[in-house]
Structure 1
Amino acid sequence: MNKTRRNYLKKAKTLQIWNVVYDVTEVVVSLIAGFTANSSALIGWGLDSTIEVVSAGTLGWRLNGEIKGIDEEKVKRRQKITLNVIAVSFTLICVFITYDSITKLINQETANWSSMGLIILLVSLVVNPILIYFKRNYGKKLDSPALMADAKDTFICLYQTVVVLIGLLLVNWLDWWWADPVAALLIVPYAAKEGWEAYNKAKNINYNIA
């Protein structure tokens, strides 16, 4: 392994560690805010962040393996596992958002205002674009489909952040109780597409089982 690639791998691994730290914070704050405000959108957003924690942690494991110099077959194995985890993550996002949104539409549920929720959403609007930029940057430099897929996963989280924020504001300002679930459903087609692509990339990775 050349020095430049090893350096990029270490930087990408450090990025994933910070990603996990932030996402854990995001999960705790958003779930507390969601349950306090009885907001299905905030709770769903927090659960989505737990999937990101799993995805980022698994990807960090794959990067760490290459840094330690494990053989190419094991690197491929970890890459395949990482892409499958990301694909499953997208699937879970689709299932939860669909169920949560339809349930809210049927029950005509309305969330209460949450200042804590607003703050973590605004912080996420700043942090996630930074994570996306560096994941894509290292993904291209390392030619890593897993990093690129993880960047798309973070993009979906960013999109969902905007959706949840707009939904809460519309409910609070205009009493449009239906705005949040309808907007959330717009996430599903994109998430399904990216999940399917991650699955196909994983399927095309072949390695020898020692």
Structure 2
Amino acid sequence: MTLQKKATIISSGTATLLIVIKLFVGVMSGSVAVLASAIDSVLDLIVSAFNYFAITKAEQPANKKFNYGKGKIEALAGVIEGTVITVSGLFIFYTAIKKAINQETVEFLGYSIIVMVISLAITIALVLFLNYAAKKTRSMVVKSDALHYKTDVLSNSAILVSLVLIQMTGFEMIDSIMGVIISIYIIHSAYQIIRDGVYILLDASLDEEMVEKMRDIILEEKEISDFHYLKTRKSGNTNFVDVHLVFSPGISLMRAHHAGDRIEEKIKDLIPDEVWVINAHLDPYDDSEINDQQYVANEEG
């Protein structure tokens, strides 16, 4: 079993444990913050289960139907996860406002505090593991899961602080205020997850720093006189690179081929743990202007 799958299974098991603990105490105490945290854990479980399915599909090799594999399903999972997180944030916001209006009180504060301390410790341990898995696998699904549970660490910490303050001051409005703050933070975090997923689904290029390193590698090759049409994108843990390499007209095909191989190897060494698919087109002269003119002519025609 791959590390990505292990990460999603551990996330699912952790979410299930937290649901049982938080839901029981949340219902008993009437704390909107604890109930909100329980609902968030339910969504965590749903998302982790979906992530397992997404990773299973993403790891399947390319075939005649899906020539480039199914890596983008991880980005799709990230978008869905971000959407689910957004919905949970909106629900928490609604519940907090409703409690403030109805002036509901929190009971069994001692038990609630104990539950949040336990939840915080468990979630911190899970985040440490997910960060390790995300770093090793570079999986967007695991990275999204890690980010999600990081927000849980912060929200659980905030809930714990609010419960302690309520016990010390008796000011019940703190619970609703903290619920609103948590909901806003959760929605903000979800936006980042959705944005990254959408970028991959729309074939956004790799980050500019990485592309700049590729440019440097190409220009360092002594056989290359120029290059154009450098395009990059990402799908799962696979990076796709397309580029036209310009050589002098008299160079032999063998020398040009070897130069292209050297460039490809250096680019792959930028992130050796990931899969690279590099398509280098060998040009005897710079044909970019001719190709651009033909493209414009076709569009006008």
Q: Identify the TM-score tier after normalising by the shorter chain.
A: 0.7 to 0.9
Match of 2:36 among 44, 57, 66: 44
**Identical counterparts, % of pairs:** 20
Partner of 1:5: none
- Is the CA contact (8 Å cut-off) linking 1:163 and 1:183 kept in structure 2? yes
- Is the CA contact (8 Å cut-off) linking 2:166 and 2:172 kept in structure 1? yes
Q: Distance in 2 between matches of 1:42 and 1:191?
A: 15
Q: Please report the TM-score for the alignment, with normalisation by the length of structure 1.
A: 0.84
What is the 5 A alignment of 1:50-199? 50-67=42-59, 69-71=60-62, 72-76=68-72, 78-199=73-194
Q: Distance in 2 between matches of 1:74 and 1:59?
A: 14
Deviates more, 1:152-161 or 1:117-126: 117-126
Q: Residue 126 of structure 2 aligns to which amino acid in structure 1? A: L
Q: Secondary structure at the match of 1:112?
A: coil
Q: Secondary structure at the match of 2:61?
A: coil
Q: Please report the TM-score for the alignment, with normalisation by the length of structure 2.
A: 0.60
Q: Deviations over 1:37-60 (max 9, x none)?
A: 222222111111011111211222
Partner of 1:25: 17
- Is the CA contact (8 Å cut-off) linking 1:166 and 1:180 kept in structure 2? no
Q: Residue 103 of structure 2 aligns to which amino acid in structure 1? A: Q
Higher RCO structure (Cα 8 Å, ≥6 apart): 1
Query: Radius of gyration: which is bigger?
Result: 2
Q: In the TM superposition, what is the alpha-carbon distance from 1:63 to its structure 2 partner?
A: 2.4
Instruction: Point out where structure 2 has 5 or more consecutive residues left out of the alignment.
Output: 63-67, 203-301
Instruction: Point out where structure 1 has 5 or more consecutive residues left out of the alignment.
Output: 1-8
Computed over aligned residues only, the root mean square deviation of the Cα atoms, in angstroms, reads 2.2
Q: In the TM superposition, what is the alpha-carbon distance from 1:116 to its structure 2 partner?
A: 4.3
Higher strand share: 2
Q: Distance in 1 between matches of 2:110 and 2:166?
A: 14
- Is the CA contact (8 Å cut-off) linking 1:104 and 1:181 kept in structure 2? yes
Q: Residue 70 of structure 1 aligns to which amino acid in structure 2? A: P
Q: In the TM superposition, what is the alpha-carbon distance from 1:183 to its structure 2 partner?
A: 1.8
Q: In the TM superposition, what is the alpha-carbon distance from 1:66 to its structure 2 partner?
A: 4.2
Q: Residue 195 of structure 1 aligns to which amino acid in structure 2? A: A
Partner of 2:255: none
Q: Distance in 1 between matches of 2:22 and 2:92?
A: 16
Report the number of matched residues. Answer: 198
Match of 2:5 among 13, 27, 31: 13
Q: Distance in 2 between matches of 1:176 and 1:97?
A: 20
Q: Distance in 1 between matches of 2:154 and 2:201?
A: 33
Q: Distance in 1 between matches of 2:27 and 2:185?
A: 27
